[in-house]
Structure 1
Amino acid sequence: MALTGVLRPGHVSVRVLELEPALKHYKQVLGLIEVARDDAGRVFLKAWDEHDHHSIVLREADEAGLDYMGWKVDSPATLKKLAADLEASGLATDMSWIAAGEHPATGERFRFTVPTGHVMELYAEKEKLGNNCGTEGPDVNPDPWPDGLVGIAPSRFDHCLLYGDDLDGTVKLFREVLGFTLTEQVVLKDKPEFMIGAFLTCSNKAHDVAFIRQPVKGKLHHVSFELGSWEKVLHAGDVLSRNRTSIDLGPTRHGITRGETIYFFDPSGNRNEVFSGGYISYPDKPVITWYDDSIGPAIFYHDRKLNEAFLSVFT
């Protein structure tokens, strides 16, 4: 499948209450790599197998949560076209262009707000640092992974799960304007046209972003990072326990996406996930539907019970 248009989740900006404890968590426990700081006090990080300059932005603030999520598109021409499409759609609000260089090593970005209240942005250009896997450069005779990895060491920023009220409008925007595919949905059994949750992909992953209907605007449930195997998810549990990190749930498996998972919190209360597995999705794959009376195994396939705290805690 030729990927065009929106390619992947590119970065996410997260608010933290205190920067130094957050950096200890994201660098030493999670194992991300710091690549830059700016005059505004933001810190930019990346996972080891991401070639682009950064994927995670941390900003100290009075309230934890999500600032915005960025999406990499295939070209400057596509960036201009999608910006125009968003402006014409009637679904996006608060649209603006962010000048090149406002993020280090990044071109201009088009920022907008989706109906659930989340701030999104598109960009086409970001400097490539490479993944340091090869002694002759990252793309020549590379090793499977670089030396010096610490902590959990995920390979990439994978997805976000977000809470908001106007789920229908946001799904419409992502599908009809940005070209995403709906892979899975949660609906009311007695009213299947009423969607509770939507899992969307711009690639062939099980999901690149997910939204859950809640009576709030612009909230973050979790930021997820990819691991290569179930064994590495179990190892992540060991790392978290050794570092006395607050574990939310897992290790376990999802019914939705089939992924293996463990959830935990950064020192500010933002939920993180490390995730492996899932299936390959192509545009002709039928949408998987889950009814609300099966939400237990949909979320926690092993114990098949709903954990209310998992749904009610967000930033």
Structure 2
Amino acid sequence: MTEFKEPIRDIAYLAHIELLTPKPDESLAFFRELMGMEAIHSERQSVFLRGWGDESLYSLKLTEAKHAGLGHVGLRSFSPAALDRRAQAIERSGLGIGWSDGDYGHGKTYRCTDADGHAVELYYEAEKYVAPPSLKPSLKNLPQKYAARGASVTSLDHINLFSSNVDGDSAFWQEKLGFRLSEQAITDQGSKVTAWLHVTNKSYDLAISLDKTGTKGRFHHAAFKVESSEMVLRAADIFLDHGIFIEASPSKHVAGQTMFVYVYEPGGNRIEVCSGGFLILSPDWETITWTPQERKKGLAWGNPLPATFHTYGTPVINP
């Protein structure tokens, strides 16, 4: 019998991400007009945006930079004590950076990197979103009025980090932050090429994929949720009409079972619009393992992802 290990339940959810873009105006127009997000604040070289269903004040910080890529991942803890526990655990790992006063909309923050070098920020104190009169919803249990614009994305669903060492990176997220491994794709030798991890009851909040270029710390994609498969198809038409490069046309994933479309936003970051997926309610969920032979069958309906899915990330590596 497998020895029971008490799970770490200190991280509440994936709260936001910061994306870097060398084309700030074009990227902002993409997220506002085509994705349907609301810009709620700007300061210095950053704009803060939210989907109409985001519980956090914002889910995307968009920052002007020389190269596209990930600025940081923002995680909210369940309590101040939970934040301190995670900070102490990360300090012992040698990957801690230290404390800061926080960023727009949230307080005291512990900063670190994961094993591959992706920047992570943890905090508890957070300002609540209050919709202005123009966005006040009729239903009191919604954070804001439905965004009848573009793809009308609801919220940040998950992120995918590129990694030079999926085993090492996924171990950090599990052992130091309490994420749980829902599914994995492995090599014939048993090493992970993709790890799907969750901290909520979604099938996954975070994926970590092997960067076949061998580069450390790059970003694969951010996924924003819509309400139905039909809205994924609608998003694809919107991207087509506005000249946005579609890397992978709508289809269905095997892992997570989400419907998707993948595009590159003008700054170069890969963005997914998705719907569906399953929930994990069992406390003794057993990790699903996908073998190389099973992965050769392609996606749920047999079509393959493009080869760039395993090599393209941000910052972009010049050949």
Using the size of structure 2 for normalisation, the TM-score is 0.89
How much has 1:297 moved relative to structure 2?
Answer: 4.1
Partner Cα separation in structure 1 for residue 147 and residue 123 of structure 2: 31
Q: How many residues align?
A: 305
Partner Cα separation in structure 1 for residue 209 and residue 72 of structure 2: 17
- Cα 1:36/1:281, change in 2 over 3 Å: same
| Counterpart residue type for residue 41 of structure 1 | Q
1:127 aligns with 2:127: yes
Q: Secondary structure of 2:25's partner? A: helix
How much has 1:161 moved relative to structure 2?
Answer: 0.6
- Are the counterparts in 2 of residues 162 and 212 from structure 1 also a CA contact under 8 Å? yes
Partner Cα separation in structure 2 for residue 196 and residue 111 of structure 1: 27
**Counterpart position of 1:311:** 310
Percent of aligned pairs sharing the same letter: 29
| Counterpart residue type for residue 127 of structure 1 | E
The runs of 5 or more residues in structure 2 that have no matched partner are 1-7, 315-319
**Counterpart position of 2:301:** 302
**Counterpart position of 1:14:** 19
Partner Cα separation in structure 1 for residue 74 and residue 147 of structure 2: 28
| Counterpart residue type for residue 50 of structure 2 | K
- Are the counterparts in 2 of residues 71 and 121 from structure 1 also a CA contact under 8 Å? yes
**Counterpart position of 2:200:** 203
| Counterpart residue type for residue 64 of structure 2 | E
- Are the counterparts in 1 of residues 36 and 147 from structure 2 also a CA contact under 8 Å? no
1:52 aligns with 2:52: no
- Cα 1:306/1:274, change in 2 over 3 Å: closer
The correspondence of residues 11-160 of structure 1 with structure 2, limited to 5 A, is: 11-38=16-43, 40-88=44-92, 90=93, 92-100=94-102, 103-130=103-130, 141=140, 146=145, 148-160=147-159
- The worse-fitting range, judged by mean Cα deviation, of 47-56 and 256-265 is 47-56
- Are the counterparts in 2 of residues 72 and 123 from structure 1 also a CA contact under 8 Å? yes
- Are the counterparts in 2 of residues 98 and 110 from structure 1 also a CA contact under 8 Å? yes
**Counterpart position of 2:4:** none
How much has 1:133 moved relative to structure 2?
Answer: 10
**Counterpart position of 2:5:** none
Partner Cα separation in structure 2 for residue 96 and residue 207 of structure 1: 28
How much has 1:213 moved relative to structure 2?
Answer: 2.2
- Are the counterparts in 2 of residues 47 and 55 from structure 1 also a CA contact under 8 Å? yes
The correspondence of residues 183-222 of structure 1 with structure 2, limited to 5 A, is: 183-188=182-187, 190-192=188-190, 194-214=191-211, 215-222=214-221
How much has 1:166 moved relative to structure 2?
Answer: 2.7
- Cα 1:131/1:48, change in 2 over 3 Å: farther
- Cα 1:134/1:142, change in 2 over 3 Å: farther
Partner Cα separation in structure 2 for residue 48 and residue 132 of structure 1: 12
Deviations 1:8-45 (A, max 9, x none): 1111011101211111101000111101111x311111
- Are the counterparts in 1 of residues 22 and 68 from structure 2 also a CA contact under 8 Å? yes
- Are the counterparts in 2 of residues 85 and 177 from structure 1 also a CA contact under 8 Å? yes
Partner Cα separation in structure 1 for residue 203 and residue 129 of structure 2: 27
Partner Cα separation in structure 2 for residue 207 and residue 57 of structure 1: 22
The runs of 5 or more residues in structure 1 that have no matched partner are none
